[in-house]
Amino acid sequence: MPTLSLMPPEFRVARDDNKCIKCLACVRQCGFDAQQYDAEDDRLYAIDANCVNCQRCVSICPAGALTIYKNPPPMRPNAHWTEGHLRNIVKQAETGGVLLTGMGNDQPFPTYFDRLLLNASQVTNPSIDPLREPMELRTYLGSRVEPVTLEECRDKTRTPLVPIETPIMFSAMSYGSISHEAFASLARAAKAFGTLFNTGEGGLPEDLYEYADHAVVQVASGRFGVHAGYLNAGRVIEIKIGQGAKPGIGGHLPGEKITAPVAETRMIPEGTDALSPAPHHDIYSIEDLKQLIFTLKEATRYQKPVSVKISAVHNVAAIASGIARAGADIIAIDGFRGGTGAAPTMIRDHVGIPIELAIAAVDQRLREEGIRNRVSLVAAGGFRSSADVVKAIALGADAVYIATAALIALGCHLCQKCYTGKCSWGIATQDPYRSRRLNPEIGAERLYNLLRGWSHEIKEMLGGMGINSIESLRGNRLHLRGVGLNEVELKLLGVKHAGEAM
């Protein structure tokens, strides 16, 4: 270990001694040992270098005595050699390792949602008041075959459509990467609101099977926790090919997080690393994928729609077309802002494409090929508000997955230290001392509130556009206008520039 640290701490903990009552809540709650107490001197102090700015202490302090400051950058301002680069270089010079991080890409790439604006009705077409008139957010997920012939109605290989009461689902987060408490919060909220949560690749804990009817049960390259009971319990089965935060990369849940209940759920020995290979080793082609899709459908007697989740990458439209033709009922596309419990920083920050462009490209391609009806398109990766959801649906998505927003509702402060397992908020941890901080009763209520608020806002926006059903908005890009976008971007998104008429 180097004896000299080349970098000052990233954050500073400031304590207002006028306010501090020395209740020590900060010391007990800090997940990273930054807050310290010296009993002999009855003195509180901070080890700034340990602070990750998760804000747990700030939130818990009853006296409002704490503030976390960003330390000034250690070198003079340099637009090219930014602080992030400097810190990464120093860390690697010390460790020689791959940089790890958590949550989604935090780099200043453009966010197209912020360059898109919605339409509203004025005079010539009436807007709708969602408080007075019915407004439908129910969305049906799955494959629609048209025209429907009598023969097809009798087709035993058609999977049913799955209704969700709002076009928002909780995205895949595995038990193991998040705590049982966080997982249970998602499951309870999904059931209460009438939408779906996603098990991720870690299986479904036995005690949460009562929520299985609201679960998208994932089958990933590691096949953790996959068994016939699991597949048949879920509402939708999802084959995970890729993840927006780390396209082309597998997963690695370290052995410390494989506690006894996690091991049982994943069906692997306790304390062993859970390695998800980068590819499915039985899928090297669309034909291979088709085999797995129909294997899963056979295993569930065609009662469960099968989703295939991929990262938004350069060739996403063609891949999506292949997935649709392989028999998937749902295609989930995860954009480059999508989160993760752990990913190499370089991958997270530099691989993949924006979800907005991917939605537009996939929707366009499937329409052109006349197979858009065969699949539902679910978009994921960094949805921050109901407006993002509405814009995604107008671009062509049927529904969206949210995960980072859900975790923020549960307390996440985006400190990006999920991979350490020390989450102070009880979310990305298997340490019972930390995880018990997240009471699933409260967690579920907060998630329910988030869904409720967003759904209400979506109704308001729809009403403003004179639309009374979310399905009428899907792919309706005339309701979008771009601002500050160049012609290529406008063309790819399939939207006109603000100021252009219908």
Partner 1 sequence: MKKVYARPAYCMNCHLCEVNCIVAHSRSRDLFRAYKRENLRGTARVIVEERLPLSVAVQCRHCDDPRCVAGCISGAMVKDPETGIVYCQEDKCVGCWTCVAGCPYGAIRPGEKNGRPVPLKCDLCREADEPACVAGCPNRALVFEERRAGA
Task: Please tell me whether residue 436 binds partner 1 under the rule CB under 8 A.
Answer: yes
With respect to partner 1, which residue has the nearer C-beta, 251 or 440?
440
| CB-based contact 443:192 (threshold 8 Å) | no
**Rounded-to-integer distance, Cα 62 and Cα 155, Å:** 62
Task: Please tell me whether residue 290 binds partner 1 under the rule CB under 8 A.
Answer: no
Task: Please tell me whether residue 152 binds partner 1 under the rule CB under 8 A.
Answer: no
| CB-based contact 405:360 (threshold 8 Å) | no
Task: Please tell me whether residue 62 binds partner 1 under the rule CB under 8 A.
Answer: yes
Task: Please tell me whether residue 261 binds partner 1 under the rule CB under 8 A.
Answer: no
Provide the b/e sequence for 441-473 (b: ≥16 CB within 10 Å): eebbbbbbebbeebbbbbbbbbbbbbbeebbeb
With respect to partner 1, which residue has the nearer C-beta, 27 or 99?
27
With respect to partner 1, which residue has the nearer C-beta, 176 or 426?
426
Beta-carbon count within 10 A of 222 CB: 22
Rounded to a whole number of angstroms, the minimum distance from the CB of residue 331 to partner 1 is 39
Using CB under 8 A, which of 24, 93, 145, 267 touches partner 1? 24
Task: Please tell me whether residue 227 binds partner 1 under the rule CB under 8 A.
Answer: no
| CB-based contact 434:181 (threshold 8 Å) | no
Which H or E element spans position 163?
Answer: strand 162-164
Question: How far from 15 is each of 22, 44, 48, 297, 425, CA to CA, in Å?
Answer: 11, 9, 12, 58, 21
With respect to partner 1, which residue has the nearer C-beta, 431 or 457?
431
How many CA atoms lie less than 13 Å away from 23 in the CB half-sphere? 14
Using CB under 8 A, which of 7, 10, 23, 88 touches partner 1? 23
> Across-strand partners of 100?
344
Q: Would you say the C-alpha torsion 82, 94, 2, 44 has a positive or negative sign?
A: positive
Using CB under 8 A, which of 13, 15, 29, 417 touches partner 1? 29
Taking contact as CB under 8 A, which single stretch among the options 86-94, 239-247, 282-290, 426-434 is the one that binds partner 1?
426-434
Task: Please tell me whether residue 414 binds partner 1 under the rule CB under 8 A.
Answer: no
Burial of 111 (C-beta count, 10 Å sphere; 0-12/13-18/19+): middle
Q: What is the DSSP string of 7-72?
A: S--SEEEEE-TTT-----HHHHH-TTS-EEEETTTTEEEE-GGG-----HHHHH-TT--EEEEEPP
With respect to partner 1, which residue has the nearer C-beta, 309 or 434?
434
Task: Please tell me whether residue 439 binds partner 1 under the rule CB under 8 A.
Answer: yes
With respect to partner 1, which residue has the nearer C-beta, 180 or 459?
180
Using CB under 8 A, which of 14, 21, 93, 267 touches partner 1? 21
Beta-carbon count within 10 A of 271 CB: 14
* Count of residues in contact with partner 1, rule CB under 8 A: 21
Task: Please tell me whether residue 22 binds partner 1 under the rule CB under 8 A.
Answer: yes
Rounded to a whole number of angstroms, the minimum distance from the CB of residue 442 to partner 1 is 6
Taking contact as CB under 8 A, which single stretch among the options 153-161, 170-178, 303-311, 432-440 is the one that binds partner 1?
432-440
**Rounded-to-integer distance, Cα 303 and Cα 438, Å:** 34
Rounded to a whole number of angstroms, the minimum distance from the CB of residue 441 to partner 1 is 6
* 158-217 positions binding partner 1, by CB under 8 A: none
With respect to partner 1, which residue has the nearer C-beta, 188 or 240?
188
Task: Please tell me whether residue 25 binds partner 1 under the rule CB under 8 A.
Answer: yes
* 344-403 positions binding partner 1, by CB under 8 A: none
Three-class secondary structure of residue 351 per DSSP: coil
Three-class secondary structure of residue 393 per DSSP: helix
Interface positions with partner 1 (CB under 8 A): 19, 21-25, 28-29, 60, 62-63, 426, 431-433, 436-439, 441-442
